[in-house]
Amino acid sequence: MAELEGPEFGKADFVLLDEVTMEQFLENLRRRFSQGRIYTYIGEVVVAVNPYRTLELYGPPAVERYRGRELYERPPHLFALADAAYKAMKRRAKDTCIVISGRWTVAVGGGCVWGTLGWAPLAQSLPSFARRERGGQDGGQQIHHAVHRRHHQPHPTRRGGEGEERAAEVQLRPGSLRQRQDQPQRQLQPLRQVHGHQLRLQGRPHRRPHPQLPPGEGAGVPRVGTAGWVLCPRGHCPAPTHCALFQSRILQQQPGERNFHAFYQLLLGAPAALLASLHLCRDPGAYRYTREGAQGSVSGAGVGAGWAGGGRGGPGPSHRVCLPPNAHPRPAGTTRTATGRWRRRWPSSASPRRRWAPCAASWPPSCTCLRQALLTRTVAAGGGELIEKGHSPKEAAYARDACAKAIYERLFCWIVGRINASIAAHDYDVRLHGKSTVIGVLDIYGFEIFDTNSFEQFCINYCNEKLQQLFIELILRQEQAEYQREGIAWQSIEYFSNEPIVELVEQPHRGILALLDEACLAAGTVTDSLFLASMDTRLGRHPHYTSRKLCPTDKTMEFNRDFRIKHYAGDVTYSVEGFLDKNKDTLFQDFKRLFYNSADAVLRAMWPDGEQSITEVTKRPLTTGTLFKNSMVALVENLASKEPYYVRCIKPNDQKSPTLFDEERCRHQVSYLGLLENVRVRRAGFAYRQPYHRFLLRYGLRPPSRDPRQPPPAPPHLALPPRYKMTCEYTWPNHLMATDREATQALLEQHGFQDDVAYGHTKVFIRTPRTLFCLEQERAQLIPIIVLLLQKAWRGALARRRCRYLRAAYTIMAYYKRHKVKAYLRELLRRFQAVRTLPDFGKSVVWPEPPAVLARFQDASQRLFCRWRARQIVKNIPPSEMGQIRAKVAAMEALEGLRKDWGCQRSWARDYLSSPRENPGQALPFARRLQTLKDKVHFGSVLFSCHVRKINRFSKSRDRAILVTDQHLYKLDPRKQYRVMRALPLSTVTGLSVTSCQAQLVVFHTQSQDDLAVCLHKMQPAEDNRVGELVGVLLEHCRATKRELQVRVSDCIQLSLRGRRRLLTVETRPGAVTPDFGKSRDGFVLYWPGR
């Protein structure tokens, strides 16, 4: 992980932070967010930051990158977590669950924002892992699930509500248990989506929560071979309490919100004939429950198109079965009160029976029964006596709303039940397919804080408290408890425990839910204010509870209305208005009997409790709060029974900006998610632990028992050599040590992992995933060798038989080859026997043609002979001439093939200006100048000196002389006793440029971009070529001083004079006596004497 991402991306795992502080945590989070790295690890926990932009992180190629890889092998990603959960289920037969949490919903100024980044990628990767592992060949396997795919940010072009959600159904079928009819599943999935989603504040969608994991046993559970898996929701219909929690949003929404999508898609997208048959109109504002949403941006192109798109071209049979109960805004919206006031859809002159006719047409019960259920209530008093009580206008409105919410809840449960029935695995046999295991994905809602927080927000935040308590227990407490049980040294870590907050809500007889139920069951008139007063009296001393009465100076709360709970995520102020009514949420038995007696079979199936006799006295149903608490307890128990994997989501800012990182907002989320405590635990703990016998079974290949009746070990010819033992030669195939712990210790010490492990009483603890991966990698490499062991005997027999057939042929071929080799060697010895006495040391000797087997031998022999011959020649050269030889070799390497003549055939004198023959009359002044420079600079030797013709940047040419020592390059004036005109340190000369013709042009390139261009002349003889000598001498000197000198050969030389670039070319001028420089259009030209 760390090696795949540079330091500019921060730490890929928060466990690797230098210091575990909030500042370091946020700085690493900010750096990764700014670089587009939205996923970061805390051990096996994934922290996801909403990028608010489209990133190339998903798709089949990304799934392939993470398939079968350990967490640290690739950069952090949700796919790695999904693969880890799948491998835990496959390898260890563990029920696993992936909990996606951390969404933080706030409506104080910024609006409702979603930060969940996990459900859609998980739904994309988990089926692919299973499908690839099976390869589509197992005929008894099936993977089938329905998912929601949600955008990270609102789509700017979508109409009908910004950020509208899409539903996508993913179905994988690597084989089938039986031929499945999945058309109802495809038709019902969009219905489940539109019934479970609604538009929230700021145009953001809200999804009904599905806080249920699939049960470990029971019918309707898809399985996959020996390790079947399924994604939530599935298994059974969610408990009605979860639906009831959001039923109130049918009746009333927050300002800026609208009702569930199903209502608007039906009204705006259904065909006109269907609406006419249901007695509905297009205008959502004509109905009480959709009127608030109709005032916003509701358009047929957006929401209405969802009817045709979500329904795959229109309603099919399953859709039509749902349509009559789905139209519950219609009767509930048209019935205002029991006084006979109707909506404006029907004229006031219409008769009451005509007004009720459309309702009775959609619901098979008669018009009279429906009217009686809405306006009256029948109560069984015992002894078969019935009392019929008429409703007041307020009671009739309550009955109407309760009926609408109940229809919504029953319809949703029916849809989920149909989906579960369509994806259920049949003919599953534990004896045939193995143990049944599951992967549950729980995508929960986050904390909600609005301007006005009511009963729904109270339940949602209580749910988050319970799940945070579970997180603490599973990640922190269980970690420490296991280390204590195993005797591993543990550093105690202080962390925030929200158990007092959970007890404040759910404690029997003293918690808020218990007090709320007590108020609902009390006789007489009990108001919300009295309920608040009861809480102030009995919970006033609780440190996490307060109200305006308990804190009169806090003016953010109202008297007799508000109370505040100090949640682990922050303080939330709740309004008690409506708590009692929402908690009761009682549906009269008259409605249950009404719908159960319907002629519609689907409607009857939704109301099985209506079968109860009208004279039977029923018990008071459980309240909404109690049902929700019971379901939360069941959910927590279900989660606690599985191996958890966590995705913690963080929202970087409220403006949905892809670049803004709000540090205070992120600090609060990191704090309430308990991420710092998680990092401390991971740093102090170990990433992997396993019982000794299972560890040896996997990496030491130890049999599960030491039964003396086991077969003896394999014979020697079938045994693996020591280097191929299964990860450890001391434990394969069975160890002889006293305990499994000693064998485990020997295995790990042989690999050098003793500093990264700890040994408990029954388990081995490995600190880093790298150690585990190394063991897995070595095991994966050795398993094929063990498999090959089984093929060894048969392949050996075949090879030995073939060897016998070929041995005779190879024997004949060997004798013939030896004959050819001997003949070649005898001929070679004859020809080269007397080469030491030859003048050319055997250069003219022709080598014999070798046989094919000795072709490489002859090449090597020729190279050795050439080296021997060169050595014989060099031995005869005097030591004083070796410097000239090395210079000529250097010049040959640089100029060979590039310049025709470079003076290799003559002797190189180097210092020509000191020679009276070369410099008559001026040799003595030059010698004095040379001695003066030597006394001043203390150079070692003269490398080269000669008269030259030079050109300057003003296009003026002069006669000068150059002197090259082992330290400097001097430009001298011969007319002034060889006065030094310019001195360049030889270390500043970076290269030489010469031409390929006879011209003696040399350009010295310098680091200061002020080059020196000269032409050698006044040589004796005049046609002497000294360019090669100058090049060779400088190259040999640079090689001795370990410097690099670039030599370029070109007829068009580019030079730089005081930073200005010029071109220098050579032109032959017939009749010229001496070379001279001239000016050209692009720079300079050297006129060289020639024919």
Phi and psi angles of residue 547, each rounded to the nearest 5 degrees, phi first? -150, 175
pLDDT at 220 over 50: no
3-state secondary structure of 872: helix
Closest CA to 975 of 926, 931, 912, 914: 926
Closest CA to 203 of 151, 263, 239, 138: 151
Mean of the per-residue pLDDT values of the chain: 76
Strand order in the sheet with 39-42: 39-42, 45-49, 643-650, 96-101, 439-443
Question: What does the radius of gyration of the chain's CA atoms come to, in whole angstroms?
Answer: 46
pLDDT range class, residue 72, cuts 50, 70, 90: low
**Amino acid 490: pLDDT:** 72
Structure tokens at 291: 């009127």
Question: Degrees (nearest 5) of the Cα angle 902, 905, 907?
Answer: 100
Give helix then strand counts, H and E, for the chain. Answer: 34, 33
The dihedral sign for the CA sequence 831, 834, 839, 840:
positive
Contact 391, 399 (CB under 8 A): yes
Q: Which range scores top for mean pLDDT: 15-29, 246-260, 484-498, 998-1012?
A: 998-1012
In the block, residue with structure tokens 């008139």: 525
Distances in Å between the Cα of 22 and the Cα atoms of 33, 57, 571 are 16, 28, 21
Which amino acid belongs to residue 115? G
The dihedral sign for the CA sequence 328, 333, 339, 343:
negative
Which amino acid belongs to residue 642? K
Please give the residue that has the higher pLDDT: either 944 or 91: 944
**Amino acid 366: pLDDT:** 63
Please give the residue that has the higher pLDDT: either 357 or 15: 15
d(CA 490, CA 485) in angstroms, rounded, equals 11
- Compute the average pLDDT of residues 70-97: 85
Please give the residue that has the higher pLDDT: either 678 or 133: 678
pLDDT range class, residue 134, cuts 50, 70, 90: low
**Amino acid 723: pLDDT:** 38
**Amino acid 985: pLDDT:** 93
pLDDT range class, residue 511, cuts 50, 70, 90: very high
**Amino acid 1065: pLDDT:** 93
For the stretch 990-1023, pLDDT in tens is 999 999 988 999 999 999 889 999 999 888 888 8
Spell out the alpha helix ranges (H) of 755-768. none
**Amino acid 185: pLDDT:** 45
Q: Which range scores top for mean pLDDT: 95-109, 893-907, 984-998?
A: 984-998
pLDDT at 771 over 50: yes
**Amino acid 106: pLDDT:** 39
For the stretch 178-211, pLDDT in tens is 334 344 444 554 555 555 555 544 333 444 444 3
Q: Say if residue 721 is preceded by a cis peptide, omega within 30 of 0.
A: no
**Amino acid 158: pLDDT:** 34
3-state secondary structure of 812: helix
3-state secondary structure of 1061: strand
For the stretch 321-372, pLDDT in tens is 444 433 444 333 333 333 333 333 333 444 555 666 666 655 555 667 778 8
Question: Degrees (nearest 5) of the Cα angle 1034, 1040, 1041?
Answer: 90
- Compute the average pLDDT of residues 855-861: 93
d(CA 873, CA 885) in angstroms, rounded, equals 12
* Contacts (Cβ under 8 Å, ≥6 apart) of 33: 49, 51, 652, 661
Q: How many CB atoms lie within 10 A of CB 812?
A: 9
Contact 1030, 1045 (CB under 8 A): no
Closest CA to 652 of 117, 13, 41, 15: 117
**Amino acid 353: pLDDT:** 59
**Amino acid 820: pLDDT:** 93
Contact 586, 622 (CB under 8 A): no
- Compute the average pLDDT of residues 124-131: 65
Classify residue 659 as left (phi > 0), alpha (psi -120 to 50) or beta: alpha
pLDDT at 665 over 60: yes
**Amino acid 680: pLDDT:** 79
**Amino acid 51: pLDDT:** 92
pLDDT at 167 over 60: no
**Amino acid 829: pLDDT:** 92
- Compute the average pLDDT of residues 534-554: 93
- Compute the average pLDDT of residues 67-86: 85
3-state secondary structure of 1071: coil
pLDDT at 100 over 60: yes
pLDDT at 958 over 50: yes
**Amino acid 59: pLDDT:** 86
Window from 546-560, 879-893, 930-944 with minimum mean pLDDT: 879-893
Q: Which range scores top for mean pLDDT: 20-34, 143-157, 314-328, 432-446?
A: 20-34
Structure tokens at 1059: 């930073």
Q: Cβ-count burial of 564 within 10 angstroms (0-12 exposed, 13-18 middle, 19+ buried)?
A: buried
Window from 75-84, 131-140, 288-297 with minimum mean pLDDT: 131-140
Q: How many CB atoms lie within 10 A of CB 1043?
A: 13
For the stretch 773-821, pLDDT in tens is 788 788 888 888 878 887 898 889 899 999 999 999 989 999 999 999 9
**Amino acid 136: pLDDT:** 44
Distances in Å between the Cα of 119 and the Cα atoms of 78, 210, 442 are 10, 12, 8
pLDDT at 434 over 80: no
For the stretch 594-648, pLDDT in tens is 888 888 888 888 888 888 777 775 677 788 889 889 988 888 888 888 888 889 8
- Compute the average pLDDT of residues 718-747: 64
Which amino acid belongs to residue 261? H
d(CA 462, CA 572) in angstroms, rounded, equals 11
Please give the residue that has the higher pLDDT: either 208 or 448: 448
d(CA 186, CA 194) in angstroms, rounded, equals 14
In the block, residue with structure tokens 């005109």: 981
pLDDT range class, residue 489, cuts 50, 70, 90: confident
Phi and psi angles of residue 971, each rounded to the nearest 5 degrees, phi first? -105, 120
For the stretch 1024-1067, pLDDT in tens is 889 999 999 999 999 999 999 999 999 999 999 888 899 999 99
Share of the chain above pLDDT 70, in %: 74
**Amino acid 731: pLDDT:** 59
Helix 675-684 to helix 22-34 angle (10° resolution) is: 100
pLDDT range class, residue 876, cuts 50, 70, 90: confident
pLDDT at 849 over 90: yes
**Amino acid 253: pLDDT:** 74
Contact 158, 175 (CB under 8 A): no
pLDDT at 550 over 90: yes
Please give the residue that has the higher pLDDT: either 238 or 561: 561
